[in-house]
């Protein structure tokens, strides 16, 4: 178990210790759930009351913060507590030992190429022609298909499946159960009333620094490639259809579905359960609210909410009306009665 003293942490963060410099921690926790041996942090003023009751051994705070009551924990004062929390988590993660070596229970083709310092876990399969870069981590029960290329430093967690011919860049993270390169959903109605399968002959290309959540599926293209550009972050349980392209540094929350041949620009944010129809183009820096349905092109820098999705302010004005619809209906009926009465009184 790794331990860090308050003095070590303060040195790393250029911070100031208030309390016992030799206080040790071995994990990180929220301030309300802090226990002995944990480091917590105060980045939001509304959580200040927990500072005086937390069981955490060390709490990270801004230098400008002044407690209004005695604090049992050791404090480390820094310029920006929120940024320092991120640095600490990165430091802690980097300090964890990386797995190395190829398990005797893994099936690695003699015609596959593995870089130095790779780890391949139990019952993983690496097919012929696959190229695995230096320092990759391939956890148990991963499948890497024929001719797959994976860049250095990429992590494939248990149960990831990468079909033949697909490419994954450097320093990517694919979480458990992700499926890369399954066939796109392509069928043609036939004369007998059924459907003929359209062969899916393309692949999936995932560029560098992409993270893909658990049980997310990215389908191979019918021809050419389904492309996930550099820096994209996809949450769990997302479906990406064939020939889709997602631009750099776009982020999507869970349960989003993007139908075939649609394009999503760079630096977009798609909230949970967003649905995008096929052959739709979404511009750069677009934000789409939860459960919204996009069936038409969206220009750069737009905000969309609802189904069908509307421009942001139009949606909010409409939402305000939705709440009053029962009263409006009642008022309209009363007015209709008044009009009828006035007509009859003439």
* Residues annotated as catalytic (active site), given as ranges: 242
CA distance 97 to 117: 12
- Burial class for 197, CB neighbours closer than 10 Å (0-12, 13-18, 19+): exposed
Q: How far is CA 285 from CA 231, 234, 274, in A?
A: 14, 16, 16
* Per-residue H/E/C for 268-334: CEECCCCEECCCCEECCCCEECCCCEECCCECCCCEEECCCCEEHHHHHHHHHHHHHHHHHHHHHHH
* Per-residue H/E/C for 26-69: CEECCCCCCCCCEEEECCCHHHHHHHCCCCCCEEEEECCCCCCC
CA distance 58 to 68: 17
Residue of 198, 179, 182 lying closest to 190 (CA atoms): 198
Query: What letter would DSSP give residue 79?
Result: S
Q: What 3-state DSSP class applies to 150?
A: strand
The answer to whether the beta carbons of residues 3 and 25 sit under 8 Å apart is yes
Residues with Cβ within 8 Å of residue 127, at least 6 apart in sequence: 109, 112, 144, 145, 146, 147, 148, 164
Beta-carbon neighbour count of residue 306 at 10 Å?
Answer: 20
């Amino acid at each position: 178990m790794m331990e860090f003293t308050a003095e070590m942490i303060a040195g790393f963060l250029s911070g100031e210790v208030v309390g016992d410099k030799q206080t040790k921690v071995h994990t990180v926790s929220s301030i309300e759930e802090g226990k002995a041996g944990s480091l917590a942090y105060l980045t939001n003023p509304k959580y200040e009351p927990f500072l005086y009751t937390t069981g955490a051994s060390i709490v990270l705070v801004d230098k400008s913060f002044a407690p209004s009551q005695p604090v049992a924990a050791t404090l480390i004062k820094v310029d920006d507590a929120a940024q320092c929390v991120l640095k600490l988590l990165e430091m802690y993660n980097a300090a964890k030992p990386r797995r190395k070596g190829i398990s005797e229970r893994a099936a690695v083709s003699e015609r596959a190429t593995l870089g130095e310092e790779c780890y391949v876990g139990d019952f993983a399969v690496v097919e012929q022609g696959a190229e695995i870069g230096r320092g990759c981590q391939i956890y148990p029960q991963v499948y890497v298909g024929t001719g797959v290329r994976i860049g250095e430093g990429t992590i494939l967690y248990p149960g990831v499946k990468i079909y033949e011919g697909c490419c994954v860049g450097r320093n990517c993270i694919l979480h458990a159960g992700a499926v890369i390169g399954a066939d796109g959903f392509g069928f043609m109605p036939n004369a007998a009333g059924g459907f003929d399968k359209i062969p899916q002959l393309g692949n999936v290309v995932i560029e560098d620094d992409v993270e893909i959540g658990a049980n997310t599926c990215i389908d191979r293209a019918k021809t050419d490639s389904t492309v996930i550009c550099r820096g994209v972050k996809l949450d769990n349980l997302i479906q990406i259809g064939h020939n889709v392209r997602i631009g750099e540094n776009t982020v999507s929350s869970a349960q989003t579905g993007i139908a075939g041949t649609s394009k999503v620009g760079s630096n977009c944010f798609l909230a949970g359960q967003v649905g995008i129809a096929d052959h739709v183009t979404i511009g750069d820096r677009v934000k789409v609210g939860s459960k919204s349905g996009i069936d038409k092109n969206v220009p750069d820098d737009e905000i969309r909410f609802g189904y069908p999705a509307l421009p942001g302010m139009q949606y909010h004005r409409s939402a305000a009306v939705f709440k009053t619809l029962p009263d409006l209906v009642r008022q309209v009926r009363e007015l209709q009665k008044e009009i009828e009465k006035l007509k009859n009184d003439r």
